[in-house]
Amino acid sequence: MTSTFHAVHQIARPHGLPTAADFAFVEEPLPAVAPGTALVENILLSVDPYMREAMDAEWELNTPLEGRSLGRVVESRDPALAVGDLVFHRAGWRTHALVSTAEGARALPRHEGVPLSAWLGLLGGTGLSAYVGLAKVARLRAGETVFVSAAAGGVGSAVGQLARLMGAGRVVGSAGSAAKVRHLVDDLGFDAAFDYHDGPVAGQLATAAPDGIDVYFDNVGGDHLEGAIAAMRPHGRIAWCGAVAQYNSTEPPPAPRNLYDVVEKSIRLEGFLVRNNRHLQGEWEDFLVPHIRAGRVVQDETVVDGFEGIVEAFRGMLQGRNTGKMLVRVTP
């Protein structure tokens, strides 16, 4: 086994979209495996929108970055992790990691017919975000109309498919290109979708959902939130998950000009963080695994091969160059 590993450090705070100069690839000696820990060789790494906000202040400079990861145990002194186990952990942006179950690492169950990458996508924080937002925050009911922004991204594509499984009457999505719009309708089962570059969101949403919407799953903020409020029926619900439109902005985003309609229409708007809902992971797995096995959901993902591609994969995800979940495959 190699005696060193490779990692990516953040070395500067970005201004706007991160550049390659904000990161550094470093080589370091493999850490010693102390009692209660295990050494994992990473297989798949996730890059996600929340990481952009963490770069501004949360992440410490000149250290390996954090992120959802899957790896295989190559050495262990943690009694709950055996050599060969496939493990979910959060020591990402590196080829090898020292993990422990005491700090949240867990051996993955083996489900026949469930691909490994699903544990970073549909069965990971991406899918759990969709489940929390639709089932627990918006409390979607059968027959209702759902609108989701950034619908061709990891969370958005999961939201659209979950809404269909939960019995939504109509599912509408926005995306950033004509190809993504076709993908939503032809491959993921959306009833309608539109390219937000083609005109004001409010007008396109009114055409796609002429009778209004009951639930909005917000991944964007800005004009999408304003358009959703305009289209929402009385007593609608908004589950606010993200605001990717402003993560790279150097100017404060304007508030929706129709925000008072939240009062006029008795709309409930609630933000949420998936990290505060990890206790629902088992419930989500119990619900979704049978649907994955039966082929009722699509594992929508874009995979970049090679650890050296992680920075550009991250930048590409922030610019919408992915379809579905963006992953980096470190080893086969």
- List per-residue pLDDT tens for the chain, 332 residues long: 689 999 999 999 999 999 999 999 999 999 999 999 999 999 999 999 999 989 998 899 998 889 999 999 999 999 999 999 999 999 999 999 999 999 999 999 988 889 999 999 999 999 999 999 999 999 999 999 999 999 999 999 999 999 999 999 999 999 999 999 999 999 999 999 999 999 999 999 999 999 999 999 999 999 999 999 999 999 999 999 988 767 666 677 677 999 999 999 999 999 999 999 999 999 999 999 999 999 999 999 999 999 999 999 999 999 999 999 999 999 87
pLDDT at 64: 85
> Phi first, then psi: what are they for 194, rounded to 5°?
-145, 155
| Separation CA 95–CA 90 (nearest Å) | 12
Residues 6 or more apart whose CB falls under 8 angstroms from that of 282 comprise none
Which ranges in 32-151 belong to alpha helices (H)?
A: 50-56, 125-131
First to last CA, the chain: 16
pLDDT at 245: 66
Whether residue 328 contacts residue 311, with contact meaning beta carbons closer than 8 Å, is answered with no
pLDDT at 255: 73
Q: Residue 76: enclosing H or E segment and its boundaries?
A: strand 69-76
**Cross-strand pairs, 185:** none
Global pTM reads 0.91
Packing angle of the helix pair 201-208, 222-231 (nearest 10 deg)? 40
pLDDT at 106: 95
In angstroms, the Cα distances linking 7 to 63, 90, 91 are 9, 14, 10
If we measure between CA atoms, which residue out of 108, 116, 114, 141 comes closest to residue 297? 114
| 319: number of Cβ within 10 Å | 11
Going from the N-terminus, what domains does the chain have, and what CATH number goes with each? 4-121+299-329 (3.90.180.10), 125-275 (3.40.50.720)
| Separation CA 284–CA 291 (nearest Å) | 11
Beta-sheet pairing, 145-148 with 69-76: unpaired
Whether residue 184 contacts residue 190, with contact meaning beta carbons closer than 8 Å, is answered with yes
